[in-house]
Amino acid sequence: MDKETGLQISGTATQAPEVLIARFAALPDFAPTTQETYRRALAHWLGWVRDGGDPRAARAFKAHLRDAGLSPFTSGVYLTALRRFYAWAVEQGFASANPAQGVKGEKKPRGHLRDNITEDEAARVLRLIDRVTLAGKRDYALVYLLMRCGLRLIETRRADVGDIRTKDGVKVLFVQGKGRTAKDDWLFGNCRDAH
C-alpha cells in the first residue's frame, strides 16, 4: 500500500500514484477538457498529500481548498475529481474505500445571478439591432439565438453559417453544445429571415 495516498499499489514501479492518476484521467469516458481538469485537480490533491495531508481525510482537503482561496466552483470540481478517482480506484482494486464519498463541495454563491429578462425587454433589445447591414443581420441572429432559443454563449460562438441545414423541410441549426455534444435547434422565423 502506498503510505502517502492509501492506494493499494502492486509491486511494480509503474503503479505509482501519478501513473494511476494518469490512467484514470485518460479514460475515454471523459472529454479532453474533463481529462485535463481531473489531472490538475488530482495533482493538487497529491501535492497536498505529500505536504502532509491525510489522503483519508477528504473533508480536510476540502478545507485546504477553501483556505487556499479556490472558488467554491473550483473546489467542487476538485472534490468531484477526487471522488470519481477513488471510485475508479476501488473498482480497479487499487483502494479499499473512497474517502471522498459523501463529501460535498462548498455552497456556490448565487448572488451574481440575475432574473430573466422580460418578454418586453427582449423585444426591445431585438428592435434596437439594425437589420439592414450584413453585420446587423448577424448580430440579430446571434442575439435571437441566445434569447429565444436558449443557446449558450459557447454554442453561439461555435455556430457557423455552414451549420444551418434543412431537416424534414425545416431549417435547423446544428449546434455543438457543452462538451462538444451535437444537437439540432430549430431556427424560428425571425432568425431564419436573418440568415
Which pLDDT score, from 0 to 100, does residue 11 have? 39
Which residues are within 8 A (CB) of 88 and not within 5 positions of it... i.e. 6 or more apart?
24, 27
From the number of C-beta atoms within 10 Å of its C-beta (0-12, 13-18, 19+), residue 111 rates as exposed
Number of domains in the chain: 2
CB-CB neighbours of 188 under 10 Å: 13
What residue numbers bound the domain in which 26 lies? 13-92
Domain presence at residue 4 = no
Which pLDDT score, from 0 to 100, does residue 154 have? 81
Are 85 and 123 contained in the same domain?
A: no
Residue 88 DSSP symbol: H
- Which residue's C-alpha cell is 451549420? 163
Which pLDDT score, from 0 to 100, does residue 59 have? 86
| CATH at residue 163 | 1.10.443.10
pTM, two decimals, is 0.55
Are 178 and 125 contained in the same domain?
A: yes
Which pLDDT score, from 0 to 100, does residue 44 have? 92
Residue-level pLDDT, tens digit, the chain, 195 residues:
455 555 544 433 446 888 889 999 888 888 888 889 999 999 999 988 888 878 778 888 889 999 999 888 899 999 999 999 989 988 988 888 888 888 887 776 666 556 778 888 888 998 999 999 999 988 888 888 888 777 788 888 887 888 888 878 777 777 776 665 555 555 555 555 555
Beta bridge partners of 19: none
Are 68 and 18 contained in the same domain?
A: yes
Which pLDDT score, from 0 to 100, does residue 157 have? 82
Which pLDDT score, from 0 to 100, does residue 14 have? 43
Three-class SS of 5-62: CCCCCCCCHHHCHHHHHHHHHCCCCCCHHHHHHHHHHHHHHHHHHHCCCCCCCHHHHH
Helix (H) or strand (E) holding 165: strand 164-167
**Dist. CA 116–CA 154, nearest whole Å:** 19
Which pLDDT score, from 0 to 100, does residue 120 have? 86
